[in-house]
Amino acid sequence: MSRRSDLHPDVEAMLTALEAGFPDVTEHDPRELREIIVSRRAPLTRQPDMATARDLTIDGPGGDLALRVFVPHRDSDDADRSGGLPVVVFAHGGGFVFCDLDSHDEFCRSMAAEVGAVVVAVDYRLAPEHRAPAAMEDVYRALCWTSENISGFGGDPHRIALAGDSAGGNLAATTSLAARDRNGPKVCAQVLLYPVIDDDFDTASYRDYGVGYYNTTKAMRWYWEQYAPQGRHSALVIPTSADTLAGLPPAVVATAELDPPCSAGEEYARLLEAAGVPVIAHRFDGLFHGFLTFPQLSLTPPAREKVWQMIRDVLAATPADDDVRSAP
C-alpha cells in the first residue's frame, strides 16, 4: 500500500496510527466490534462545559430512544434576546453499526458552544440488528420530539437543522426528505459532514482512496450490507433515489478529499443546487474520513472553525422565532 507523498506530516502520522490501530470491521461480529471500539476509546471528558447536558428517553418507533440535549452557555448578547437559540438534531457516524452518544459527546459540545445552538444528539438503533430505514425513523422521531419540546430547553422550534457525520450525514439527508414528504416539522437546514450518500463504489474517490486512507472500500461495502442488504432503491436509504430534491432545506455539504465517499457527497451537493436548493459546499483537501472527530490532529481545529462558520451562515439565513412571530 502506498499513499500520496504530498500529505501533511500530521495527516500521514495519523493515518498510519489509524491503519495500525483500528480493527478491520469486516473480520468481526458487529457486537464484538462495538466492544472493541468502546474499549479503545479515550475517557469521556465532558468538555467543553455546557449550561445543560441532559440525557433523556423518549418513545421511539422501536421502543425507548435515548437523546442527549446540549445547551451552551449564552453570552450577554444572546441573553438579551427574547428568542431561542437555533437547534441542531445530530446523528452520529459509525457505519450505521457502531458509535453512540459518548463517541460524539465532545464533538456535539463543541458544535453547541461554537455555533451557539442547542444540539440534540440521537442514539438511533444500530445495524445489523435493525435494518434500514430504522435509524432514519429514529432520527425523524427525534426531529418531531424536538419540534414539540425544544422551547423548554431555550431552543427555537422554528430553526431546527438536521446534521450528521458519515453515516449520520446519510441520516440527516434522508430525514430531510422524510420531513418534506410527510409534511413533518420544518427543517431549516441540513448539514452533511463527509456524508455516506450512496453505494456506488466505482467513483473517482473510491478508486483513488479506497485503500490506505483509514476508511476503505471494503469497509464501506460491509457497512452497507449490515444496514441495507436489500431495498436500497428507497429515498429513505439512498437520498439520490428521490423523485426530486426540490423543496429540501438549504444544505451545508463538507467533504474530505481522501475519503472514498467524497465524490458522491460532492455530486449530491451539485444535484441539490440543480434542484434549486441553496448549498454551501466545501472540500477539505488533504484530509480523511472522520477527521472532524479527531481534535488532537493539528489540522482539525481550523477545519472545525470552517464548519462552524458554514453552519452559522446557514442558520443565520433562517429568521429567529421572535421574527417569525412578528411577521405579518
Domain boundaries defined on the chain: 9-74+82-318
Query: What is the structure's pLDDT at 326?
Result: 41
Contact (Cβ atoms closer than 8 angstroms) between residue 177 and residue 272:
no
| Tally of CB atoms within 10 A around 181 | 13
Q: What is the pTM of this model?
A: 0.95
Query: What is the structure's pLDDT at 223?
Result: 98
Low-confidence ranges of the chain (pLDDT < 50): 79-80, 322, 324-328
CATH topology of domain 9-74+82-318: Rossmann fold (3.40.50)
Active site residue 76: no
Catalytic residue, chosen from 147, 166, 176, 205, is 166
Convert 108-131 to b/e letters by CB count within 10 Å (16 or more is b). Answer: bbbbbbbbbbbbbbbbbbbbeebb
Query: What is the structure's pLDDT at 323?
Result: 52
